[in-house]
Amino acid sequence: MEYCAKNQLLDKLPKELLSYVQEKSELCKPDHIYVCDGSEEENKMLLAAMEKNGEIRKSKKHKNCWLATTDPRDVARVESRTIICTKNQHDVVSTPKSGFRPIVDPNMPNIKQTALGNWMDTDEMILILNERFNGCMKGRTMFVIPYMMGPFNCPYSKIGVELTDSPYVVCSMRIMTRMGERVLNELNKVESPNFIKCLHSVGVPLPAQEPIINNWPCNPAKTIITHFPERNEIITFGSGYGGNSLCGKKCFALRIGSILAKKEGWLAEHMLIMGVTNPKGEKKYFCAAFPSACGKTNLAMLQNRDIIPGYKIECVGDDIAWMRFDEEGRLRAINPEFGFFGVAPGTSQSTNPIALEMIKEDTIFTNVAETSNGDVYWEGLENDVDLNNVTITSWKNQPWQKGSKEPAAHPNSRFCTYASRCSIIDPNWESPEGVPIEAIIFGGRRPTGVPLVYEVFDWDHGVFVGATMRSESTAAAEFTNKQIMNDPFAMRPFLAYNFGQYLSHWLSIGQKPGLKLPKMFHVNWFLKDPITNQFLWPGFGENIRIIDWIFRRLNNENCAIKSPIGYLPEKGSINLTNLKNININQLFHIQKDFWLKECKSIREYFVENVNDDLPKEMWTQLDLLENRIQQIPAIEREKCA
Ligand code: GTP
Ligand code: SPV
Ligand code: MN
């Protein structure tokens, strides 16, 4: 068996881990067990074996770049099949006013599905999983991946061990986490080591009963992504895709992570972390929570291109922040990840040249299209690839022409590469004490009504703004039509404990005396002209103009004016030099009807989904907002930007 050339690491497993491996291998019945050392040699062996099986193709153009195309039924996270299992339902979800949602799977009649996550009883779920996992790895190898979330010398880093039958997952985890023998060494340093147990299977024992589409084994009918916070365990079945299968990312660093964070007094959030240096050489760190596919990677790698000369952006992380207040009361953040699993479409020389450069080597692409000269292709690269001189093969492995109805690349196609490949990676990105955060930015895709930027009044108002975030759905999950969905703190898909308690945790963490609380903001790059349906704001590199305004506000510059929803930029305070055809009025118009409707729908959302569990501060904030909106048009609109 080619994956098992080297297996002496089995002897190095601490006894707790060995018994976990034994227990799960007895259940899953793999043909082989292989403990990953994380070496270059091992990585090469796995990539070569996958290439031979047709699971991935080697890029003809770029060094050590690989292309995977999935079964078209397995292309994104599946929120409806993501479940948190505990003893008590209320620890995870409140009972919605009008009852639970219809269940996705008649074989799981006791699952409680809500707009803020899904719950099931632990014992009941274990029975369902045991049935799925029994013999699920026959004919396959069980890989043991010891991995660390966070830098090695950081006291807040945490260890997980993922057992998986997917070599694609092993190679991706090698990019996204610090994995291998080094982590075993860490585990062996202590008497009874703690680690999060993660079990993953694609759910297709061999020989397969059905054809394996695109050499991408998966089991969509039985896909289920489960979490057991009371047992420090993650068990995921049937999908090989991103957040469903790379357990370190959403399952551990966000879902289990946020529960540990609540217990231990810190925050695990779906946020980018960026360093911003202003023209005076002053440096501050920001983090930003935008829902999936709403611009975190792009903002974290923003290229200023002298739009405002002297500004420099450096990237600490593009998806997840683990944050805690230090002894001096400063909020410090680490990026627990080691790589980027970024949205490919839209990434181009004009939007994100840093990312484009970064993915030229050592990258695994999933569901992108390919050009006849061996390059990758996706929507947004029209100006970077000479479409007259190459032909394109779509992610579905079909010939593709410009103007086709279907996209060349899947809208949720991704690149996966090492953070260290990013040319603007921050010098402190692995610093064990984390970087000091001065601004927290919320945002989402709001085609109407929500201005380009505003600043919140105080911490409680900031928590309210986070709690009431809404955004147009994207291809990052299974929702097919564009709908405005609530996505509080960009965490809807990643909440693992009762949302009311999550908000209480946020409120209380900011209440301790002596804290230097970050200021909070809300941005919306996605306003559209209702007539032309075009974006009103150019976005991407031009967002530096908003970062600049935020930076100046952190320095207490007097450039904001109070509005009913928060502080808006004072007229002329956003640097618009050399920017043409910007309708600033449309970008900052606070419309009474819109905001009254917004308040109404927030109230309905809270009543329906959180109700008695909602901290009283949130009701107060909602009443205050509604009262302020009622005052419109008392505010002097013309004073705003
Ligand atoms: P996840 O990895 O799913 O969490 O996504 P993300 O939040 O990192 O989003 P990302 O930066 O990958 O952007 C998602 C999509 O939005 C891409 O197609 C981008 O090109 C597009 N996008 C990002 N920033 C902007 C912007 O400022 N304006 C516009 N119009 N589009 C943007
Ligand atoms: C997201 O959907 O927020 C992602 C991609 O970052 S995935 O890892 O698939 O969850
Ligand atoms: Mn994300």
User: Does residue 343 line the site of ligand 1, with CB under 6 A?
Assistant: yes
Structure tokens at 163: 């057992």
Angle at 203 between CA 202 and CA 207, to 5 degrees: 105
Tell how far the Cα of 90 is from the centroid of ligand 3, in angstroms: 26
Contact 67, 57 (CB under 8 A): yes
Angle at 320 between CA 316 and CA 326, to 5 degrees: 70
238-248, pLDDT tens digit by residue? 999 999 999 99
Is the pTM above the cut of 0.85?
yes
Q: Whats the size of the chain, residue-wise?
A: 641
36-82, pLDDT tens digit by residue? 999 999 999 999 999 999 999 999 999 999 999 999 999 999 999 99
**Does 96 score more than 70 pLDDT?**
yes
The reported pLDDT for the residue numbered 130 is 98
Atom index in ligand 1 nearest the CA of residue 293 equals 5
Give, for ligand 2, the residue of 341, 412, 416, 474 to mutate: max count of ligand atoms closer than 8 Å to Cβ: 341
Which amino acid would we find at residue 45?
A: M
**Does 4 score more than 70 pLDDT?**
no
577-629, pLDDT tens digit by residue? 999 999 999 999 999 999 999 999 999 999 999 999 999 999 999 999 999 99
Please list, residue by residue across 194-210, b when 16 or more beta carbons sit within 10 angstroms of its beta carbon and e when fewer do. ebbbbbbbbbbbeeeee
Residue 141, beta-bridge partner list: 32
C-alpha span between 115 and 134 (Å, rounded): 31
Atom index in ligand 2 nearest the CA of residue 291 equals 3
- The distance in angstroms from the start CA to the end CA of the chain is 66
Beta pairing class for 117-121 and 82-86: parallel
Tell how far the Cα of 170 is from the centroid of ligand 1, in angstroms: 26
How much is the mean pLDDT over the chain?
Answer: 96
The reported pLDDT for the residue numbered 5 is 45
For atom 3 of ligand 2, which residue has the closest CA?
Answer: 292
C-alpha span between 564 and 541 (Å, rounded): 29
- Comparing 187-191, 396-400, 458-462, 473-477, the range with the smallest average pLDDT is 473-477
The reported pLDDT for the residue numbered 113 is 98
Cα–Cα distances in angstroms (integers) from residue 582 to residues 541, 573, 586, 626, in the given order? 15, 14, 9, 30
Atom index in ligand 1 nearest the CA of residue 526 equals 30
Cα–Cα distances in angstroms (integers) from residue 29 to residues 15, 24, 142, in the given order? 20, 8, 9
Query: H/E element holding 572?
Result: none
Residue % of the chain over a pLDDT of 70: 98
* Mean pLDDT (whole number) for 463-488: 93
Q: How confident is the model at residue 292 (pLDDT cuts 50, 70, 90)?
A: very high
C-alpha span between 16 and 47 (Å, rounded): 30
Atom index in ligand 1 nearest the CA of residue 342 equals 2
**Strand ranges for 419-467 from DSSP E:** 435-443, 453-455
The reported pLDDT for the residue numbered 326 is 97
Structure tokens at 320: 């997840």
Structure tokens at 77: 């996270």
Residues flanking ligand 2, CB < 6 Å = 77, 242-243, 249-250, 292, 319, 341, 476
Atom index in ligand 1 nearest the CA of residue 295 equals 11
| Structural domains of the chain, ranges and CATH numbers in brackets | 10-56+77-256 (3.40.449.10), 268-335+429-596 (3.90.228.20), 341-421 (2.170.8.10)
For atom 10 of ligand 2, which residue has the closest CA?
Answer: 243
For atom 7 of ligand 2, which residue has the closest CA?
Answer: 243
Q: How confident is the model at residue 477 (pLDDT cuts 50, 70, 90)?
A: confident
Angle formed by the axes of helices 592-609 and 616-631, to 10°?
160
Residues with catalytic function: 294
Contact 415, 405 (CB under 8 A): no
User: Does residue 502 line the site of ligand 1, with CB under 6 A?
Assistant: no
Residue 441, beta-bridge partner list: 288, 521
Structure tokens at 536: 């009103």
Give, for ligand 1, the residue of 241, 343, 381, 482 to mutate: max count of ligand atoms closer than 8 Å to Cβ: 343
User: Does residue 431 line the site of ligand 1, with CB under 6 A?
Assistant: no
**Does 2 score more than 50 pLDDT?**
no
Cα–Cα distances in angstroms (integers) from residue 76 to residues 245, 247, 366, 555, 599, in the given order? 10, 14, 11, 41, 32
Please list, residue by residue across 522-533, b when 16 or more beta carbons sit within 10 angstroms of its beta carbon and e when fewer do. bbbbbbbeeeee
> Mapping DSSP to helix (H, G, I), strand (E, B) and coil, where does residue 359 land?
coil
C-alpha span between 245 and 169 (Å, rounded): 7
Which amino acid would we find at residue 319?
A: D
The reported pLDDT for the residue numbered 632 is 83
C-alpha span between 377 and 390 (Å, rounded): 11
Q: How confident is the model at residue 268 (pLDDT cuts 50, 70, 90)?
A: very high
Residue % of the chain over a pLDDT of 90: 95
* Mean pLDDT (whole number) for 324-344: 98
Q: Is the peptide bond prior to 207 cis by the omega test (within 30 degrees of 0)? A: yes
Q: Is the peptide bond prior to 633 cis by the omega test (within 30 degrees of 0)? A: yes
Query: What are φ and ψ of residue 131, in 5° steps?
Result: -65, -45
User: Does residue 487 line the site of ligand 1, with CB under 6 A?
Assistant: no
* Number of CB atoms found within 10 A of residue 255's CB: 26
Atom index in ligand 1 nearest the CA of residue 291 equals 7
Beta pairing class for 312-317 and 272-277: antiparallel
Tell how far the Cα of 254 is from the centroid of ligand 3, in angstroms: 10
Picking from 259, 300, 309, the residue whose alpha carbon sits closest to that of residue 281 is 309
C-alpha span between 199 and 326 (Å, rounded): 34
Task: Give the 3-state DSSP-derived string for 222-284, with helices as H, strands as E and coil as C.
Answer: HCEEEEEHHHCEEEEECCCCHHHHCCHHHHHHHHHHHHHHHHHCCEEECCEEEEEECCCCCEE
* Mean pLDDT (whole number) for 538-547: 98
Burial class (CB in 10 A: 0-12, 13-18, 19+), 587: middle
Structure tokens at 352: 């994100």
Give, for ligand 1, the residue of 271, 296, 298 to mutate: max count of ligand atoms closer than 8 Å to Cβ: 298
Tell how far the Cα of 306 is from the centroid of ligand 1, in angstroms: 21
Atom index in ligand 2 nearest the CA of residue 490 equals 3
Tell how far the Cα of 416 is from the centroid of ligand 1, in angstroms: 15
- Residue indicated by tokens 């790895």: 137
The reported pLDDT for the residue numbered 1 is 38
Contact 561, 567 (CB under 8 A): yes
Query: H/E element holding 130?
Result: helix 122-133
> Mapping DSSP to helix (H, G, I), strand (E, B) and coil, where does residue 114 land?
strand
Structure tokens at 170: 């092993």
* Mean pLDDT (whole number) for 315-334: 98
Contact 409, 377 (CB under 8 A): yes
* Mean pLDDT (whole number) for 472-498: 93
User: Does residue 346 line the site of ligand 1, with CB under 6 A?
Assistant: yes
Contact 147, 162 (CB under 8 A): yes
The reported pLDDT for the residue numbered 634 is 47
Angle formed by the axes of helices 499-509 and 459-467, to 10°?
160
Q: How confident is the model at residue 11 (pLDDT cuts 50, 70, 90)?
A: confident
Tell how far the Cα of 298 is from the centroid of ligand 3, in angstroms: 12
205-216, pLDDT tens digit by residue? 999 999 999 999
Residues measured by CB to lie within 5 Å of ligand 3, the ion:
292, 319
Please list, residue by residue across 610-636, b when 16 or more beta carbons sit within 10 angstroms of its beta carbon and e when fewer do. beebbbebbeebbeebbebbeebeebe
Give, for ligand 2, the residue of 249, 254, 335, 366 to mutate: max count of ligand atoms closer than 8 Å to Cβ: 249
Tell how far the Cα of 212 is from the centroid of ligand 3, in angstroms: 28
Q: Rounding to the nearest 10 degrees, give the CA dihedral for residues 421, 373, 50, 171.
A: 10
The reported pLDDT for the residue numbered 479 is 83
Contact 500, 615 (CB under 8 A): yes
Tell how far the Cα of 19 is from the centroid of ligand 3, in angstroms: 33
Which-ligand-closest: CA of 288?
A: 1
Q: How confident is the model at residue 640 (pLDDT cuts 50, 70, 90)?
A: low
Query: H/E element holding 33?
Result: strand 32-35
C-alpha span between 388 and 398 (Å, rounded): 18
**Does 439 score more than 90 pLDDT?**
yes
Beta pairing class for 369-371 and 376-377: antiparallel
